[in-house]
Amino acid sequence: MEVETKQNQEKKSNLANFFLSIKLKHIKLGYHYLVSSALYLLLIPFLLMMLAHLSTLSVEELFDLSNHLRFNFLTVVTCAASIVFIITLYYMSKPTKVYLVDFSCYKPKPSHKVTREHCFQIAAACGCFTEESLTFQRKILEKSGFGQMTYGPKGLTKCPQDQSIAEARSETEMVISGAIDELLSKTGVNPRDIGILVVNNSLFNPIPSLSSVIVNRYKLRGNILSYNLGGMGCSAGLISIDLAKHLLQVNSNSYALVVSTENITWNWYMGNERSMLVTNCLFRIGAAAILLSNRPSDRQRSKYQLIHTIRTNKGADDKSYNCVMQQEDENQIVGVSLSKDLMVVAGEALKANITTLGPLVLPVSEQLLFFATLVAKRIFKMKIDQYIPDFKLAFEHFCIHAGGRGILDELEKHLKLTPWHMEPSRMTLYRFGNTSSSSLWYELAYSEAKGRIKKSDRVWQIGFGSGFKCNSAVWHALRTVNPDKEKNPWVDEINDFPVHIPKVTPIVH
């Protein structure tokens, strides 16, 4: 009897909490709709008052009003001309619209697939790691959230490993040409029509540059504006988008090609410093190519319009600057060191980024709540938690850089996102691993393959990178994306996702 009583009490308590959460949800939604519609609610009484007043005028009074305006012809013309001038000035001062015509993500051949076990075997076979380092790498792989179908470069998967510049160049040329070939096929754009080229690859910058490799391969025109970005980390993809956007503002009737990738062959760490071993376990090959346009005629066929790019750089702070650093270990072996402060630094950079982004995208209702709690904490010294705006009211889709399971867990928690919102990022990490700056595009491709992108939807891409940087891009869907007409790395296997990802997946060896 006592057990039954306790169970009934628990059920009642859970039911009460459920009804309370439902009430709070509806109260918040009601508040949001009220504030968002406040302008219209205020205008309706004003319009009703005007109509009521006009309805009291007689026919003679209306004729008198018309004659008064006729005899003040100069005043009417001056007012009309002023209005036209102001409207023209407003539209001329608006920035040029930038459209995303289409994008593509490279999907390597099955021969490049690397299972968790294979990755561990590669590390064990190279003979340079201690038992402690191998154990550490195995634990990282087991908790990584990776599946068994990520891709690695040929130079590292064979024995002995080949880290030559020729092999590194071969890897990069393979992934970027694969992405660009598919993009040109999808869009039908003549390479000679591309006026701007931006390529980003943080850790591999050969001579000639990767942008020159693309110019040579596709015979791009001689006056192309070509840029090669290096050393800017996983957020460099959005930096490239921002750079292309600014170039399109001053170069009319142009196409901009943005290519994002990272090189794995050249940057495999062969030492035993723990902070440098993490990158060996997490990074995989991949690339994305994006075609942007400022041509008004391209709006009809484009997928998205670029609304905002927000860049946050915390490099002035020493802790932020040093948290991701390429350097030599005590044995003079080069690697990329990840500090234990990385998650804290990333959180601070994200906070600074969304503080700038929030007023541009959040509804007034959320901004008022944020401002109210800020005033209560700072001015009235009230002991309350700072209100975190509900970004689900501003965006339908979230593409968060698939840098690792920990980053995704933290952002899901702090932004109060649902598993549905996190699905593209988690499935990308599972299927392709951390492909650096291109991961955001594999995530958007996932949403397209699932048929989630509808006309007028808003997409928020968030990237993190060394320096330390946090960058955002906001896109507006110009049309509903039909997955049956899409060609991207997910379409032939999208029905297999989502999958359950265990917290730990033991490596059998």
Note down pLDDT in tens along the chain; length 509 residues: 444 454 555 544 554 454 444 444 445 555 555 555 555 566 677 677 777 766 776 777 666 666 665 656 666 677 778 788 777 766 666 789 999 999 999 999 999 999 999 999 999 988 899 999 999 999 999 999 999 999 999 999 888 889 999 999 999 999 999 999 999 999 999 999 999 999 999 999 999 999 999 999 999 999 999 999 999 999 999 999 999 999 999 999 999 999 999 999 999 999 999 999 999 999 999 999 999 999 999 999 999 999 999 999 999 999 999 999 999 999 999 999 999 999 999 999 998 999 889 889 998 888 888 778 877 877 777 877 767 788 999 999 999 999 999 999 999 998 999 999 999 999 999 999 999 999 999 999 999 999 999 999 999 999 999 989 999 999 999 999 999 999 999 999 999 999 999 999 998 76
Q: Specify the pLDDT at position 126.
A: 87
Q: Specify the pLDDT at position 80.
A: 76
For 62, what's the count of Cα atoms within 13 Å in the CB-facing half-sphere? 7
Q: Specify the pLDDT at position 41.
A: 60
pTM: 0.85
* Beta strands 397-400 and 334-338, pairing class: unpaired
- Hey, how many other C-beta atoms are within 10 angstroms of the C-beta on 295? 17
Q: E strands of 339-403, at which residues? A: 397-400
402 and 439 in contact (C-beta within 8 Å)?
yes
- The C-alpha R_g of the chain, in whole angstroms, comes to 28
Q: Is the peptide bond before 506 cis (omega within 30 degrees of 0)?
A: no
The count of residues in the chain is 509
Q: Specify the pLDDT at position 127.
A: 86
Q: Please report, for residues 188, 292, 297, 492, the alpha-carbon distance to residue 480 in angstroms, rounded to integers and kept in the order given.
A: 20, 18, 18, 20
Report the C-alpha dihedral over residues 407, 413, 415, 417, rounded to 10 degrees: 100
Q: Residue 100 corresponds to which tokens in the numbers above? A: 């995303």
- Give the end-to-end CA distance of the chain in Å, rounded to a whole number: 52
261 and 286 in contact (C-beta within 8 Å)?
yes
308 and 282 in contact (C-beta within 8 Å)?
no
- Hey, how many other C-beta atoms are within 10 angstroms of the C-beta on 93? 7
DSSP, collapsed to helix, strand or coil, labels residue 427 as: helix
Q: Specify the pLDDT at position 91.
A: 62
271 and 68 in contact (C-beta within 8 Å)?
no
Q: Specify the pLDDT at position 474.
A: 98
